Structure 1
Amino acid sequence: MTDVAEAARVSLATVDRVLNRRKGVKARTVELVLRTALDLGYLSEAEYGRLSHPRPPNVVFLLPMGGNPYLRLLGDKVRTFAQSKSREEAQVRCFFIESFDAGALAGAIRHHAGWADGIVFMAIDHPLVREAVEEVSAAGKRIVTIVSDLQHSLRDAYVGLDNQAAGRTAGYLLGRFCRAQKGSVALVAGSRNYRAHAEREMGFLGLFEELYPDLQVIGMREGHDDRDENYRHALSLLEQNSDLVGIYNVGGSSDGIGRALQEKGRSGEVIFIGHGLTADTRRLLIAGTMDVVINSDPDMLLGTTLRVFRDLQRGDILNPAVLSPVKMDIIFRENIPPVQSVAGGAATRRGRHPF
């Protein structure tokens, strides 16, 4: 390395940065160092070819802190991938930040833009967040939103469900499953600050107005993806509405709602639909307390997100197929996939992601 530095007339530190594909070296200096190392025999032709390609991007995932089991599962998979990656794959870090706090998310976006080439986050659709996105995008950072999108922002891509279609699907299934022609139906969400939750509610309400006008929707309650809040909301709904025939959990932490249904002896009687196949929703499906789980495979979500960054890093035009909504899985008790595909880190080991 000292010989390469002397021949290329650069510092030893610069040679080290180039050979280890670190940031902060101009493209022409990178080419000079690599060509010199090749001429001196320090690099083989294969190594030269590998190092001449753009380095893998540094990618930060920012996920909401809290009790949402699906987001914790996604975070576990991101961290497992970060620990098992090869040097030719994206360098990934994952951080959990305060849930439902637009200021905390905006601050984290700005803070991590120093290391990251790309930032992935579940968006809170708020002026503070949109301003931070515009700021770091102007500095050349790539932005991908997952699960919940931003409106009118400079993000490069959104990876997740078509949330309005998810809400309509939940409404269709709940209405079809209800034996009663009349009754009340309740919605529980994390927060409308997440555009995903607002869009699911919009889709659900639109479908119900079209197909089930005799079933009364009694409004949305926000449980902030907290199982205890969801439990209290569900108890209140059951106690105040004797004609309750269905609950749609727009967000996460369905176990709180399931516990209330079981305690009140309404398990299997009130139709219960929610999101995210995790250990808690799996148990509720098997017990018959939950009827349907609408799921987006976290491995597919992670793989698609990293594939987007790979294409952006190479300067490729993003494939329309990649930018289309993530496939929506409809899970019932009778078609629950094996445990290892929805929990634990085995499915996130190197080689399993399609990118």
Structure 2
Amino acid sequence: MTDVAARARVSLATVDRVMHRRKGVKERTTERVLKAALELGFLSPEQSAHIATPRPPNIVFLLPAGTNPYLRLLGDKLRARAAQNGRDAASIRCIFIESFNARALAAALRHHAGWADGIAFMAIDHPEVREAVETVTAAGVSVVTIVSDLPHPGRAGFVGLDNQSAGRTAAMLLARFSRRSSGSLALVAGSRNYRAHSEREAGFLALLDEMYPDLHVVGVREGHDDAGENYRHAMSLLEQHPDLIGIYNVGGSSNGIARALVERGRAADVLFIGHGLTADTRRLLIDGTMDAVIDSDPDTILSTAVSVICAARGRGPALHAQPAVRMDIFFRENLPSGSGIAPLAGL
């Protein structure tokens, strides 16, 4: 390698980077190093051709930390995928960062851009995050938003639900299931800083205005996808609004809301719809505390995000547009078997 470095007029570190197909080496430099390695017999033509081909991308997934079971499920699936990847597959890392913190997300985007060729993340709609996306995409890193979008001309794509449609669907289900012409409905969101949550809220309210004007929303509480906060919000709603007939959990950690309904003896008469088919929501569907779960298949989200980044790096077929991820609606009667959902701890 020292002889290759001398002939190519580069550092030994640069030769090492080329041989291990690491990022950060200009194409012309790579060509010079490979030419020198061939001339010295350090590499065979087959080895040189392999190194010269675009290497599999390094991909980082940034997910919010916390008690949201759906996001933990995504993390578990990512770790399993990373452990199974072969030599010529994308290298994947899953990093959990502080939830609902735009500054922490922006810092993570900049930090992990040093290793990553592509970053997939659940976006927070905030100027600091947009500026970080501008910085890393300008540096050549491909960016994909998952679950919650941040429209930016430099991003490679968004992988997730049509969230306005999801909100409208939740409103339709609650209204139809209730068979009531009047009453109160409540929404519990993670945070409106997630575009996914604000879009679901907008779709929910729009459908009620159009079709069920006598069903009124008594407010939107932000529970930050935390089971404890969601529990306290649900308890408050039940105490303050005796005519409450339904709750739509726009975000995650539905188990907190379910706990309040059970403790107050309202699980049978307050309709409850949420997102993400996980071990806890599956159990809540079976025991009747939840009435419906709107789901986006986690394997589809992860596979599509990886495919979009690989395509952007020239490692797969071009993807000109990504349709919204299919929205599945689960009830107690149509729960899938063998879904790969990890069991609840202690069960």
Deviates more, 1:180-189 or 1:135-144: 135-144
- Once the two structures are superposed, residues 266-290 of structure 1 have per-residue CA deviations (whole angstroms, 9 ceiling, x without a partner) of 2132111100111110110111111
Secondary structure of 1:341 counterpart: coil
Tell me the number of residue pairs that the alignment of Structure 1 and Structure 2 aligns. 343
Query: What is the rounded CA distance, in whole Å, between the counterparts of 1:298 and 1:339 in structure 2?
Result: 14
Q: Which runs of 5+ in 2 are unaligned?
A: none
Secondary structure of 2:119 counterpart: strand
Supply the AA of the counterpart residue of 1:102.
Answer: A
Contact 1:133–1:153 under 8 Å retained in 2 = no
Instruction: Give the TM-score taking structure 1 as reference length.
Output: 0.89
Contact 1:59–1:90 under 8 Å retained in 2 = yes
- Once the two structures are superposed, residues 107-165 of structure 1 have per-residue CA deviations (whole angstroms, 9 ceiling, x without a partner) of 11111122212222111101111111112222222111111111455322111111111
Matches within 5 A, 1:117-156: 117-152=117-152, 154-156=154-156
Query: What is the rounded CA distance, in whole Å, between the counterparts of 1:335 and 1:309 in structure 2?
Result: 34
Identity over the aligned pairs, expressed in percent? Answer: 66
Matches within 5 A, 1:43-62: 47-62=47-62
Secondary structure of 1:258 counterpart: helix
Supply the AA of the counterpart residue of 2:216.
Answer: Q
Q: Which position in structure 2 is the counterpart of 1:71?
A: 71
Query: What is the rounded CA distance, in whole Å, between the counterparts of 2:44 and 2:342 in structure 1?
Result: 42
1:28 Cα deviation from its structure 2 partner: 2.7
- Once the two structures are superposed, residues 260-312 of structure 1 have per-residue CA deviations (whole angstroms, 9 ceiling, x without a partner) of 11112221321111001111101101111111111111111110000001100
1:320 Cα deviation from its structure 2 partner: 3.7
Secondary structure of 1:145 counterpart: strand
Q: Which position in structure 1 is the counterpart of 2:325?
A: 326
- Relative to structure 1, the CA distance from residue 297 to residue 43 in structure 2 (aligned partners, 3 Å threshold; closer, same or farther) is farther
Secondary structure of 2:313 counterpart: helix
Q: Which position in structure 2 is the counterpart of 1:185?
A: 185
| RMSD, aligned CA | 2.2
Deviates more, 1:123-132 or 1:23-32: 23-32
- Once the two structures are superposed, residues 171-223 of structure 1 have per-residue CA deviations (whole angstroms, 9 ceiling, x without a partner) of 11111111322211110001111111000000000011111112111110111
Deviates more, 1:111-120 or 1:35-44: 35-44
1:94 is aligned to 2:94:
yes
Supply the AA of the counterpart residue of 2:239.
Answer: E
Q: Which position in structure 2 is the counterpart of 1:351?
A: none
1:106 is aligned to 2:106:
yes
Q: Which position in structure 2 is the counterpart of 1:294?
A: 294
Q: Which position in structure 2 is the counterpart of 1:353?
A: none
Secondary structure of 1:294 counterpart: strand
Q: Which runs of 5+ in 1 are unaligned?
A: 345-355
